[in-house]
Amino acid sequence: MCRRIFSTCGVAAVRIVSGKMVLSFYLFTQQSLPACKPVLTPGWVIAIFLFMGVIFIPVGLVTLRASHCVIIHSMVVEIVDRYDIDCVPEPSRMDKVSYIQDDSIPKNCSRFMKVHKYMKAPIYIYYQLDNYYQNHRRYVKSRSDKQLLDGQKYHDTSSCQPVESNNNRPIVPCGLIAWSLFNDTFEFIREGAELKVNRKNIAWKSDRGHKFGKNVYPFNFQNGTLIGGGKLNPEIPLSDQEDLIVWMRTSALPSFRKLYGRIEKDLDVDDVVVVNLMNNYNTYSFGGKKKLVLSTSSWLGGKNDFLGHACVFVGCSSLTLAIIFMLLHVKYRRPYGDMSFLPWNRKSFSG
């Protein structure tokens, strides 16, 4: 398809004597740079589609294997349980908002999750929120990264309005994102024995190490009249408050999940896991949903077939197009490179 084309001229010999730079400059300014002139012939079209099919179908299949592996112990298994409606007791179902805002009512709730396939450790625990716009413009900017690193020494926290200060004392960490910290808690019991949940190392290392200060402690946090979410232990520095770190990495979509912790044991088929959760967080005011997700993970990640399916789809459609083009090439062969196909050479052409 491509040919390297060089021009030949007797004068070039003279120029080369006076320096290769002069020749290159001459080629540049006289529009005669050596160029590759790709001409897309039918052969190339078919070849490229075949090539793409051959590349993408295996890649797609490999990617799908990550979540649908035939080998039992490597499968990605996911259990999802929506609990926000069921965890509100019957009498309060009419007015969930006042139920959730009433501190005197105990909010514990028990759920049962049945394991339908073998789940290999580590099993990741996520909480999923729907209809929660963490990507809202005013929400995303309502934080102060400098304050997260420097603490009260940093004073210019105007971006955190309206959650900047309370009773004339600064709030650390300030901003709506921290203020709305998710505070449902989960405990897992299987066959009477508690499953230990590892809550360390759930945030990205770069966040823990560089964005949240090791000497910054929560101060005057969640002390106002309007409680938005969870409270923070003022004795633990921010770099160790992994719940907060995970929460503050705002999500892209209104339906998202965030990592809560890890279970380091395997779960067998037909195991029933009892979840004792505290239903503290208010998603009822805006019609949000809360779900608990238990998921294993593979080298590619959680249970997401999209990439695999997309690769296979691209590969298959390329192959289909290659076959269609081959058939068309055989049937409707346009005389290729034929002078008589030029419009001014065709008989019916009239100027």
Partner 1 sequence: MQVAELIEKDLILIGATAIEDKLQEGVPDCIETLSRAGIKIWVLTGDKMETAINIAYACNLLNNEMKQFIISSETDGIREVEERGDQVEIARFIKEEVKKQLKKCLDEAQQYFYSVSGPKLALIIDGKCLMYALDPSLRIMLLNLSLNCSSVVCCRVSPLQKAQVTSLVKKGARKITLSIGDGANDVSMIQAAHIGVGISGLEGMQAVMASDFAIAQFRFLKDLLLVHGRWSYIRLCKVVTYFFYKNLTFTLTQFWFTFYTGFSGQRFYDDWFQSLYNVIFTALPVIIVGLFDKDVGSSLSKRYPELYKEGIKNMFFKWRVVAIWAFFAVYQSLVFYYFVTVSSSTSQGSSGKMFGLWDVSTMAFTCVVVTVNLRLLMICNSITRWHYISVGGSIVAWFLFIFLYSGIMTPYDRQENIFWVIYVLMSTFYFYITLLLVPVAALLGDFLYLGVQRWFFPYDYQIVQEIHKDEADDSGRTDLLGIDNQLTPDEARSYALSQLPRELSKHTGFAFDSPGYESFFASQLGVYAPQKAWDVARRASMRSKPKPKPNKIN
The CB-of-99 to partner 1 minimum distance in angstroms stands at: 26
Site track for partner 1 across 63-92, x = CB under 8 A: x-----------------------------
Q: How far is the CB of 130 from partner 1 (least distance, A)?
A: 12
Q: Please, are residues 1 and 44 in contact by the beta-carbon 8 Å criterion?
A: yes
Amino acid (1-letter code) at residue 94: M
Closest CA to 5 of 39, 41, 32: 32
Contact residues for 28 (Cβ-Cβ < 8 A; gap 6+): none
Q: How far is the CB of 315 from partner 1 (least distance, A)?
A: 10
Which position among 13, 18, 21, 36 is part of the footprint of partner 1 (CB under 8 A)? 36
**Closer by beta carbon to partner 1, 91 or else 343:** 343
Confirm or reject binding of residue 51 to partner 1 (CB under 8 A). Answer: no
Q: Return the closest-CA partner of residue 121 out of 69, 68, 74, 70.
A: 74
The backbone region for 270, taken as left when phi is positive above 0, alpha when psi lies in -120 to 50, beta otherwise, is left
Question: By CB under 8 A, what part of segment 103-122 binds partner 1?
Answer: 122
**Residue 219 sits in the site that holds partner 1 (CB under 8 A):** no
Question: Is 54 an interacting residue with respect to partner 1 (CB under 8 A)?
Answer: no
259 lies in the binding site for partner 1 (CB under 8 A) = yes
Q: Which amino acid is at 177?
A: I
Q: Which is nearer to partner 1, 92 or 317 (CB)?
A: 317
Give me the least distance between CB of 89 and partner 1, in Å please: 31
Residue 209 is classified by DSSP as: I
Residues 6+ apart with CB under 8 A from 83: 109, 111, 277, 279, 290, 291, 292
Q: How far is the CB of 93 from partner 1 (least distance, A)?
A: 27
| Residue with token string 């929560």 | 218
Q: How far is the CB of 21 from partner 1 (least distance, A)?
A: 15
**DSSP result, 229-298:** S----TTS-GGG-HHHHHHHS--SSSSEEEEEEEE-S-B-TT-EEEEEEE-----TTTT-EEEEEEE---
Site string for partner 1, 124-153 (x = CB under 8 A): x-x------xxxxxx-xx-x-xx-------
Interface with partner 1 includes 32 (CB under 8 A)? yes
Compute the least distance from the CB of residue 170 to partner 1, in Å: 16
* Smallest gap from residue 317 Cβ to partner 1 (A): 7
Buried b (16+ CB within 10 A) or exposed e, 226-256: ebbbbebeeeebbbebbbbbbbbebeeeeeb
Minimum distance of partner 1 from residue 103's CB (angstroms): 29
The residue from 253, 269, 272, 327 that contacts partner 1 (CB under 8 A) is 253
Of 87 and 125, the one with the shorter C-beta distance to partner 1 is 125
> What would the x/- binding string for partner 1 be over residues 230 to 249, using CB under 8 A?
----------------x--x
Q: Which is nearer to partner 1, 88 or 176 (CB)?
A: 176
Q: Are 231 and 165 in contact (CB under 8 A)?
A: no
The 172-211 site mask, x for binding partner 1 (CB under 8 A), equals ------------------------------xxx-xx--xx
Beta bridge partners of 292: 81, 127
Which residues 285-314 are close enough to bind partner 1 by CB under 8 A?
295, 297-304, 306-307, 310-311, 314
For partner 1, the closer of residues 60 and 107 by Cβ is: 60
